[in-house]
Amino acid sequence: MAWLLAAAALALDAPKPEPKEVPKPVPKEVPKAAPKEAPKEVPKAVPVADVVAPPGAVVVPEPPTAAGPAVSVSRTRQFVVRGGDGPERGAVAILAEDTKQELLKLLDAKDEWKVPVVVELHGKPGDPRPPRTVVPGLFATDQGWRLQLDVHLARGVENDRFEHAVLAMLVYEWSLRGMAAGDAEQRLVVRPWLVEGLREAIRWRSKRTDRRIYESIHKSGGLFRLEQLFGLGEQQFDDLDAASREAFRVSAGSLVLALLEQASGRAAFRRMLGEVARFEGDTPILLRKHFPDLNLSERSLAKLWALQLANMAEAPLTEVLTIAETEAALEAALQLHVRDAGGLVASRSLEQFRDLAGLTEAERAEAVRPAQDALVRVSYRCFPSFRPLLGDYQQVLRDIATGKDRKTAERLAKLAEFRELMSQRAARARDYMDWFEITRARESSGEFDDYLRIKEQLKQAGGSGNDPVSRYLDDMQKAFGRDGERNKQRAAASQ
The string of DSSP codes covering 307-347 is HHHHHHHSPPTTPPP-HHHHHHHHHHH-EEEEE-TTS-EEE
Same domain (yes/no): 136, 199: no
Are 106 and 198 in contact, with CB atoms under 8 Å apart? Answer: yes
Same domain (yes/no): 409, 329: yes
Q: What letters, b where the CB count within 10 A reaches 16 and e where it falls short, cover 51-63?
A: bebbeeeebbeeb
The confidence score (pLDDT) of residue 40 equals 42
Same domain (yes/no): 90, 195: no
Q: Is residue 235 part of a domain?
A: yes
Which residue, 314, 345, 364, sits at the end of a domain?
A: 314
Q: In what order do the strands lie in the sheet with 134-141?
A: 44-45, 134-141, 144-152, 117-122, 79-82, 71-73
Burial class (CB in 10 A: 0-12, 13-18, 19+), 372: middle
Range of the domain at 277: 191-314
Which residue, 264, 292, 314, sits at the end of a domain?
A: 314
Q: Is residue 343 part of a domain?
A: yes
Q: What is the pTM of this model?
A: 0.69
* Alpha-carbon distances of 9 from 1, 5, 17, 18, 407, rounded to whole Å: 13, 6, 17, 20, 130
Same domain (yes/no): 343, 243: no
Q: Is residue 14 part of a domain?
A: no
The confidence score (pLDDT) of residue 32 equals 47
Same domain (yes/no): 161, 235: no
Same domain (yes/no): 149, 201: no
Number of residues assigned to the chain:
495
Q: How many Å apart are CA 45 and CA 146, to the nearest integer?
A: 10
Q: How many Å apart are CA 385 and CA 435, to the nearest integer?
A: 25
CATH value at residue 160: 3.40.30
DSSP, residue by residue, 438-455: HHT--S---TTHHHHHHH
Q: Is residue 483 part of a domain?
A: no
* Alpha-carbon distances of 261 from 198, 205, 213, rounded to whole Å: 13, 12, 21
**DSSP-H helix ranges across 353-448:** 361-381, 387-402, 408-439
Q: Is residue 260 part of a domain?
A: yes
Q: How many Å apart are CA 322 and CA 384, to the nearest integer?
A: 9
Q: Is residue 458 part of a domain?
A: no
DSSP, residue by residue, 180-206: -TT-TTS-B---HHHHHHHHHHHHHHT
The confidence score (pLDDT) of residue 63 equals 45
Same domain (yes/no): 172, 205: no
Q: How many Å apart are CA 67 and CA 464, to the nearest integer?
A: 63
Same domain (yes/no): 197, 181: no
Which residue, 285, 314, 343, sits at the end of a domain?
A: 314
Q: How many Å apart are CA 454 and CA 289, to the nearest integer?
A: 41
Same domain (yes/no): 132, 49: yes
Same domain (yes/no): 51, 152: yes
3-state class (DSSP) for residue 48: strand
Same domain (yes/no): 54, 181: yes
The confidence score (pLDDT) of residue 119 equals 96
Same domain (yes/no): 240, 148: no
**pLDDT by residue, tens only, the chain of 495 residues:** 443 334 444 343 444 444 444 444 444 444 444 444 444 443 444 444 444 333 333 333 344 444 445 899 999 999 999 999 999 999 999 999 999 999 999 999 999 999 999 999 999 988 998 989 999 998 887 778 889 999 999 988 999 999 999 999 999 999 998 787 666 567 889 999 999 999 999 999 999 988 888 988 888 877 788 889 999 999 999 888 888 899 999 999 999 999 999 888 999 999 999 999 999 889 989 998 999 877 667 778 888 888 898 899 888 888 899 999 999 999 999 999 988 777 788 888 999 998 888 888 898 999 999 999 999 999 999 999 999 999 999 999 999 999 888 889 999 999 999 999 999 999 999 999 989 888 887 766 666 676 677 767 766 765 556 777 777 777 777 766 655 555 555 555 555
Q: How many independent structural domains does the chain possess? A: 3
Q: Is residue 344 part of a domain?
A: yes
Q: Which residues pair with 338 in a beta bridge?
A: 346
The confidence score (pLDDT) of residue 490 equals 53
69 backbone dihedrals φ, ψ, rounded to 5°: -70, -15
Q: Is residue 487 part of a domain?
A: no
The single-letter code of the amino acid at 429 is A
